[in-house]
Amino acid sequence: MFKLKTQGSMQSLPLSDAIKSVEKRLAVVTTWAFFGAFGMGFVLSGFSASSWGLGLTGYALLITGFIGHVLINLSFDTEFSNGEVALGLVLLGISALSLLGSWWLDPKFSGVNLGIALAGFAGMTACLLFYLVIKHGVRGTFSVIHTLRKR
């Protein structure tokens, strides 16, 4: 047995499960290190130069990173951990607050920058729907959204 620390507690896992867990983490970190770094670089360059091409290329790379993460989860037969979901929601909130702050406080914030940001948020919304369809299927996704709407 091999001790592997997962989500704050020590668990005993067979060595093969521990190796699979480490391999999955390595694949996720590698995917996000590549696509996340280049994606954010292009997004920031797109905002600073008010360039549609650079900004949308950056968001395309970030979306590719997310799709890669979903495919890694599927290949390792896992789902997003609570920490990954929390990190994603926190980053989405920070992104939204940063957009609003820049839009209101920066006199040089152009319509191109607003368009790039709205296209990015549309892409993130599409990623969320893609994930829900992968996880729950089309009918299950409708049920999840319909249940949330009734509350």
What tens digit of pLDDT does each residue of 39-64 get? Answer: 999 999 999 999 999 999 999 999 99
Q: Is residue 131 very low, low, confident or very high in pLDDT (cuts 50, 70, 90)?
A: confident
Tally Cβ neighbours within 10 Å of residue 116. Answer: 24
Q: Is residue 93 part of a domain?
A: yes
Q: Is residue 3 part of a domain?
A: no
pTM over 0.85: no
Q: Is residue 2 part of a domain?
A: no
The mean pLDDT of the chain is 86
Q: Is residue 6 part of a domain?
A: no
Q: Say which residue, 146 or 80, is predicted with more confidence.
A: 80
Q: List the one residue out of 78, 67, 61 whose CA is nearest residue 21.
A: 78
State residue 22's pLDDT score: 92
Domain total for the chain?
A: 1
Q: Identify the domain containing residue 98 by its residue range.
A: 11-150
